[in-house]
């Protein structure tokens, strides 16, 4: 098991497949249009993948593995929905999401990676970055929030920073969610009419809508500098949200060399009698009204 924990990241990249006793999921285009899964297909596949995620987390805890998963991509590309489906079945004590806001005045004076380092995982933990240090290569570059020297330093330092993480034993996975211009616009428009999702349209999102080409160019340059063998980028085609979620989760499971270490079913002993305990009167307590 120790060898699994320190497995070289090179073996986790490219087309290398980790052999595990679980079936590969194939998707067919039925139901909701020619390119979409039906609700039944989607929910069945998601349930199977989420069960594998639970098995994977047991292995992470037992082996002491440290996993970092980075989610980047266009606004409205579906990163948040994928992260939510990964997190749903997992124990939150061993899996957390990091989504940092705008850096403070003090943080702006720190070494750039400094604000991210405290969030890296300890043994037995999974950390998912909903956007990450790649803000500098994307939004900060396009919006002019960093100068050219800061940008150039990042492009030089980032690969070395990630190599350090991998050498230390961290399993580092990086995903870019790609969405077409038309589909992004459709999702933006749907958010304007949905009160429950309107908060997702930040001023920065609206600004990025008008800078499609600039973001595309920034992404291409970022890939050319940071798509390293130790931590390659994996692109998720995300025009179909259901497929994007399933394909990304399936890929994560393929790249992590976990084994099924799910504990055996528990045998619960009979409950002890209440003995002399008497509940307090109901009129001495406050209850939530039965509205539904």
Which residue, 73, 279, 287, is CA-closest to 83? 73
CA–CA dist 123, 256 (Å, integer): 15
Q: Is 290 left (phi over 0), alpha (psi -120 to 50) or beta?
A: beta
**H/E element holding 56?**
helix 39-63
CA–CA dist 233, 289 (Å, integer): 51
What domains appear along the chain, each with residue ranges and CATH number? 2-265 (3.40.50.300)
Confidence at residue 1, expressed as pLDDT on a 0 to 100 scale: 44
Kindly give the confidence (pLDDT) of every residue in the chain, 292 residues in length, as a single tens digit, with 9 standing for 90 and above.
444 444 444 444 444 344 444 444 444 333 333 347 899 999 999 999 999 999 999 999 999 999 999 999 988 889 999 999 999 999 999 999 999 999 999 999 999 999 999 999 999 999 999 999 999 999 999 999 999 999 999 999 999 999 999 999 999 999 999 998 888 878 877 877 777 777 666 777 777 777 889 999 999 999 999 999 999 999 999 999 999 999 999 999 999 999 999 999 989 899 888 788 888 998 989 999 999 9
Tokens of 118: 């405290």
95-98 β-sheet, strand order = 95-98, 125-130, 66-73, 170-178, 233-237
Tokens of 72: 């980047």
Q: By three-state DSSP, how is residue 122 classified? A: coil
Confidence at residue 27, expressed as pLDDT on a 0 to 100 scale: 41
Confidence at residue 22, expressed as pLDDT on a 0 to 100 scale: 44
Confidence at residue 14, expressed as pLDDT on a 0 to 100 scale: 42
Tokens of 6: 């320190």
CA–CA dist 172, 248 (Å, integer): 14
């Amino acid at each position: 098991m120790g060898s699994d924990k320190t497995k070289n990241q090179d073996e986790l990249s490219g087309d290398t497949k980790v052999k595990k006793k679980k079936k590969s999921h194939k998707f067919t285009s039925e139901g909701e249009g020619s390119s979409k899964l039906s609700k039944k297909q989607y929910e069945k596949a998601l349930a199977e993948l989420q069960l594998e995620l639970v098995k994977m987390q047991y292995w992470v805890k037992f082996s002491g593995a440290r996993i970092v998963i980075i989610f980047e991509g266009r606004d409205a590309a579906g990163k948040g929905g994928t992260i939510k489906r990964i997190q749903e079945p997992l124990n939150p004590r061993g899996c957390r999401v990091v989504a940092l806001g705008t850096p403070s005045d003090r943080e702006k004076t720190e070494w750039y990676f400094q604000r991210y380092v405290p969030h890296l995982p300890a043994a037995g933990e999974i950390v998912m970055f909903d956007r990450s240090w790649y803000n500098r290569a994307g939004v900060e570059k396009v919006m002019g929030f960093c100068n050219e020297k800061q940008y150039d330093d990042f492009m030089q330092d980032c690969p070395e920073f990630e190599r350090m993480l991998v050498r230390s034993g961290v399993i580092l996975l990086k995903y870019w969610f790609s969405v077409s211009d038309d589909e992004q616009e459709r999702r933006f428009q749907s958010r304007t009419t949905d009160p429950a999702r309107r908060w997702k349209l930040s001023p920065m999102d609206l600004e990025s809508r008008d800078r499609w080409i600039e973001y595309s160019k920034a992404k291409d340059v970022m890939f050319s500098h940071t798509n390293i063998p130790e931590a390659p980028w994996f692109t998720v085609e995300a025009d179909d949200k259901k497929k994007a979620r399933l394909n990304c989760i399936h890929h994560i499971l393929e790249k992590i060399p976990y084994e099924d270490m799910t504990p055996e079913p528990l045998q619960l002993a009979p409950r002890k009698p209440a003995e002399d305990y008497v509940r307090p009167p109901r009129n001495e307590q406050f209850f939530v009204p039965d509205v539904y």
